[in-house]
Amino acid sequence: MIRDFLVWLATQVGKGPGEYDPSWSEALASTLNVWGLLEGTHVLSLMLFAGTIFLVDFRLLGWGFRRTPVSVISDRVLPLTVFGFLLMVTTGLLLFYAKPLLYYHNLWFRLKLIFLAVAAINIFVFHFRVQKDRDAWDTAEKPPAKARLSATVSILSWIAVITFGRFIAYDWFECGKPLPHWANVAQECAISERGAIDLTEMTK
């Protein structure tokens, strides 16, 4: 079902009356500069987004700015983090929109989305649970274990998102190549344009 929707998104939305008229997705994918600009902005906004998140996480771990209250760092930095996040999500969705089927069957993209979800859940738990009693530890040089745990999950999950994001461009596990069975299954290669070739089939 998701794949059918992505096929429609990639081939029908914005398509002109002519047989060879491109859809908006195909038009975006065929632009050199616009796509490059999106990719570049996606990478650059990473500095703003991940850089500011790590700053707050280091304070929560008691690794830096120990004499500055957590609220001061968090309140000053948060607007930049949110702006960076909105830039990342907007450019990310447009990058995805340009080649939805390629990314849908991409192992690294799937892993990235899983860790994006982990990072998002961690943000919610922190904002609505962990920092509820922040006044009690706002000036503590070493915040309580729950705050440090939240910061650790944050740093590890964003490192995973960034690493898997970087791996997306590499075709190590591309559908249509001889792959371990688990990789074909994890990427649903069997229903992809390139199909699935199991390594075990090759060695028989």
Q: Which residues bind ligand HEM (CB under 6 A)?
A: 39, 42-43, 46, 50, 85, 88-89, 92-93, 95-96, 103, 116, 161-162, 165-166, 168-169
Taking the C-alpha atoms of residue 32 and residue 36, their distance in angstroms, rounded to an integer, is: 6
Choice between 61 and 161, CB closer to ligand HEM:
161
Taking the C-alpha atoms of residue 49 and residue 123, their distance in angstroms, rounded to an integer, is: 14
Long-range contacts of 126-131 (CB under 8 A, 24+ apart): 126/150, 126/154
Choice between 46 and 73, CB closer to ligand HEM:
46
Question: For residue 99, what is the DSSP state?
Answer: S
Q: Name the token pair of 14.
A: 């914005």
Q: Residue 199 Cβ, how far from ligand HEM at the closest point, in Å?
A: 25
HSE at residue 90, side-chain half, CA atoms within 13 A, is 11
Q: Residue 62 Cβ, how far from ligand HEM at the closest point, in Å?
A: 25
Q: Residue 12 Cβ, how far from ligand HEM at the closest point, in Å?
A: 20
HSE at residue 189, side-chain half, CA atoms within 13 A, is 21
Q: Residue 119 Cβ, how far from ligand HEM at the closest point, in Å?
A: 8
Q: Name the token pair of 90.
A: 């907007």
HSE at residue 148, side-chain half, CA atoms within 13 A, is 11
Q: Residue 55 Cβ, how far from ligand HEM at the closest point, in Å?
A: 15
Choice between 50 and 55, CB closer to ligand HEM:
50
Choice between 77 and 140, CB closer to ligand HEM:
77
Choice between 16 and 36, CB closer to ligand HEM:
36
